[in-house]
Amino acid sequence: MEKPKKLRAALLSSPGLGHLIPVIELGKRLVADHSFEATVFVLPLQASRAEAEIIESAMAPKLLDVVELPPPDLSAAGLGPDASMAMRLVVMMREARPAFRSALAAMEAQPDVLIVDLFGAEYLCIGDELGIPKYVFVPSNAWFLALLLHSPTLDKEVKGEYVDQTEPLKIPGCKPVRPEDVVDPMLDRSDQQYREFVQHAGEIPMGDGILLNVWEDLQAETLAALKNEEFLGRVVNGPIYTVGPLTRPVRPAILGKELLDWLDKQPSESVMFVSFGSGGTMSAEQLAELAWGLELSQQRFIWVLRQPAVKSLDGSFFDVGKGVAGDEALSFLPSGFKTRTRDIGFILPSWASQVEILSHPSVGGFLSHCGWNSTLESIANGVPMIAWPLYAEQRLNATLLSEEIGVAVRPKVLPSKKIVGREEIEKLVRTVMVEEEGHALRARARDLKSSAQKAMARGGSSYESLCKMKEDCQMRIRWIKQAH
């Protein structure tokens, strides 16, 4: 008997490792568990080592094809030198549309379904042009999605800046959002990136559904609110599919020998991993204070050290992993720090094999910027966190982790200096690593680890969600055929 034809998915990732990593993992799941064929289209940020390594790892074993789109010419796009990371991503995506169309046309056969990630909502019309179903993958959590989808309403109803509101922002059925937790594009309503954000929010529901990188049990209430009439009827056309946690598989072999030997020698759950994602940086003053805090805590640590920020906290987003000499950052550490902490600390310049470190049994805490991928990687390994948000939707994530999910503590910022002081850092590192509260956070993280594993396994909620998405896709393909 002839085998049924496989559905061919075209997935488009926005620039940046925080997008590329989960989009590739989604593609792999579709192929490995749901009999799709998949091609991931990638818009490289910079030809970085880290990006190349992630693309290479997607091909071993080769489950899917990866097509790198040529970097768009941004010279006529009117981006100023101070353009925010979000604006640069929006413009890169916009300008890459012709290249994506050509790349699709060059495929051996037309795709049956289009999946674009967060910054790709403007590509949904290409799905319509091709007459195929189209979905949006949001590589973040349900609370963020609720805020995003509700932002056009907030835009109409709230007067003045969100950050100046005296009451939290209400979202139907969800925990309200404190003004200080709004996502970066909502910080200044006169900025172009705010208009883009609200416009995106209006475009995302044009898809045939939304795929979200969480699992049902992690955010059951917020997901229920999103599936409610008030959201579904008015805002979202198609279903919301919870398909996470999509995290990279652990490949212990890629940890360097020196680091692996060091980790192997440390007691179980005794090391705090300190890292701020693919682009996070901090001021020189904050960097020094963090060093003091780690040293005072007398706890073991691995620190992915980056040069201090010159302007923004996402300062190295566009060049991290290019082999930037992280060693230069050493000069910003307090004098003698490296010598005094040589028995308890391990400093890695600029970039690390994060999932491999988090999965090592010696690691017992993660001081993180709360990027959603880092968050999922921590939870998937049962590691509690110190939530230290820097940019994008990370303040929202930090509140979610510390006040709702219960796997993190959050440092208090010194109002006078707008930095986190060394005593606070010392206290929180000790809280997570040795205090009773830390044990409770770890127990919660472990529970979530097993709940995440169940969700991803055959028959689990995220597995089933992708089955439903496939059925929906097949049904839409039939409708489209019938209509022609």
Annotated catalytic residues are: 19, 117
| Closest separation in Å from C-beta 355 to ligand UDP | 6
CA 448/CA 25 separation, integer angstroms: 20
Binding mask 276-315 for ligand UDP (x = CB under 6 A): -xxx------------------------x-----------
CA 69/CA 102 separation, integer angstroms: 10
Binding mask 14-33 for ligand UDP (x = CB under 6 A): --xxx--x------------
Q: Is 205 in the site for ligand UDP (CB under 6 A)?
A: no
Query: Tell me, what DSSP letter sits at residue 204?
Result: G
| Closest separation in Å from C-beta 422 to ligand UDP | 24
| Closest separation in Å from C-beta 248 to ligand UDP | 6
Question: How many residues belong to the site for ligand UDP (CB under 6 A)?
Answer: 18
What would the two tokens of residue 66 be?
Answer: 């990866």
Q: 280: which residues sit within 8 A by CB, 6+ positions away? A: 306, 313, 314, 316, 369, 371, 390, 391
Closer residue to ligand UDP, CB minimum distance, 138 or 158: 138
| Closest separation in Å from C-beta 393 to ligand UDP | 10
Closer residue to ligand UDP, CB minimum distance, 46 or 165: 46
Scan for tokens 């990638």, then name that residue. 42
Span from 158-166, 271-279, 406-414, 467-475 in contact with ligand UDP (CB under 6 A): 271-279
CA 115/CA 238 separation, integer angstroms: 14
Closer residue to ligand UDP, CB minimum distance, 144 or 231: 144
| Closest separation in Å from C-beta 200 to ligand UDP | 17
Nearest to 113 by CA among 126, 136, 132: 132
Closer residue to ligand UDP, CB minimum distance, 355 or 456: 355
Span from 192-200, 232-240, 262-270, 348-356 in contact with ligand UDP (CB under 6 A): 348-356
Closer residue to ligand UDP, CB minimum distance, 242 or 275: 275
What would the two tokens of residue 248 be?
Answer: 């990279």
Q: Rule CB under 6 A: choose which of 193, 213, 275, 281 binds ligand UDP.
A: 275
Q: 106: which residues sit within 8 A by CB, 6+ positions away? A: none
CA 202/CA 190 separation, integer angstroms: 18
| Closest separation in Å from C-beta 86 to ligand UDP | 12
Answer yes or no: are the C-beta atoms of 396 and 390 closer than 8 Å.
no
What would the two tokens of residue 348 be?
Answer: 């890695």
Span from 3-11, 331-339, 349-357, 427-435 in contact with ligand UDP (CB under 6 A): 349-357
CA 446/CA 455 separation, integer angstroms: 14
Scan for tokens 């034809």, then name that residue. 5
Residue 403 burial (CB count, 10 A): 13
Closer residue to ligand UDP, CB minimum distance, 279 or 411: 279
Residue 415 burial (CB count, 10 A): 6
Closer residue to ligand UDP, CB minimum distance, 374 or 465: 374
Contacts (CB under 6 A) with ligand UDP, residues 101-160: none
Answer yes or no: are the C-beta atoms of 315 and 349 closer than 8 Å.
no
Binding mask 359-398 for ligand UDP (x = CB under 6 A): ------------xxxx--x---------------------
Nearest to 289 by CA among 422, 426, 124, 390: 422
Span from 272-280, 285-293, 338-346, 415-423 in contact with ligand UDP (CB under 6 A): 272-280
What would the two tokens of residue 220 be?
Answer: 């059951």
Scan for tokens 């409610």, then name that residue. 228
Q: Rule CB under 6 A: choose which of 215, 231, 351, 388 binds ligand UDP.
A: 351
Closer residue to ligand UDP, CB minimum distance, 371 or 438: 371
What would the two tokens of residue 197 be?
Answer: 């954000």
Element (H, E) at 478: helix 461-483
* Site for ligand UDP, rule CB under 6 A: 16-18, 21, 275, 277-279, 304, 351-352, 354-355, 371-374, 377
